Homo-oligomer: A and B are copies of this chain.
């Protein structure tokens, strides 16, 4: 309940304006009571991040070429990020979004394996793609993308172009 309330405040006003005291007020509780359930503010933010990323535990890529599967996976990650952009913006800046061996990670490696990438390169290429797409989403969530590309285009124009380019890059080594 604490985490959900914190997430509500973050979604509404940003991480910047979440304080233990405001959170307590939102919960109708004494500010100090919170410290009996969460160690400190950093742990609170960590908990909220896990709440959100665990919410996307079930990731499925239906059939299609490996290119379509990669694209689908990237958009899945994007949907997750944009649903709570204020939180994700913070989580990226403290390194807390991409979980190695998480469901996203496993699916990614499976798709790369299916694409015919030689086994010793699967994990490394997976990691590279994960940070590239993660970083890409960070630029979308912090406004850089909109500033550089967004001029009157569809919201996902930049993201889509970038994913195309990454897929071509992977294609060059299968």
Kindly list chain B residues whose C-beta atoms are within 8 Å of the C-beta of A92.
93, 138, 142
Q: Does A136 contact B (CB under 8 A)?
A: yes
Measured between beta carbons, the chain B residues less than 8 angstroms from A139 are: 95, 131, 134-135, 138
**Most interface-central of A89, A134, A167, A173 (chain B CB within 10 A):** A134
Neighbour of A169 across the interface among B89, B134, B169, CB < 8 A: B169
* Chain B minimum-CB-distance residue to A142: B95
Interface of chain A, main secondary structure: helix
How many residues of chain A get a CB closer than 8 Å to chain B's CBs? Answer: 43
A94 to B, closest residue via Cβ: B142
Q: Does A154 contact B (CB under 8 A)?
A: no
Q: Judge whether A147 is part of the interface by a CB distance below 8 angstroms.
A: yes
> Which residues of chain A from 115 to 144 have any CB-CB distance to chain B below 8 Å in the complex?
124-125, 127-132, 134-139, 142-144
Q: Which residues 15-35 of A have a CB within 8 angstroms of B?
A: none
The answer to whether A148 and B132 have CB atoms under 8 Å apart is no
Q: Digitize A86-111: 1 where CB-to-B-CB distance is under 8 Å, 0 elsewhere.
A: 00011011110110100000000000
* Chain A contact residues, CB within 8 Å of chain B: 89-90, 92-95, 97-98, 100, 124-125, 127-132, 134-139, 142-145, 147-149, 158, 161-162, 164-173
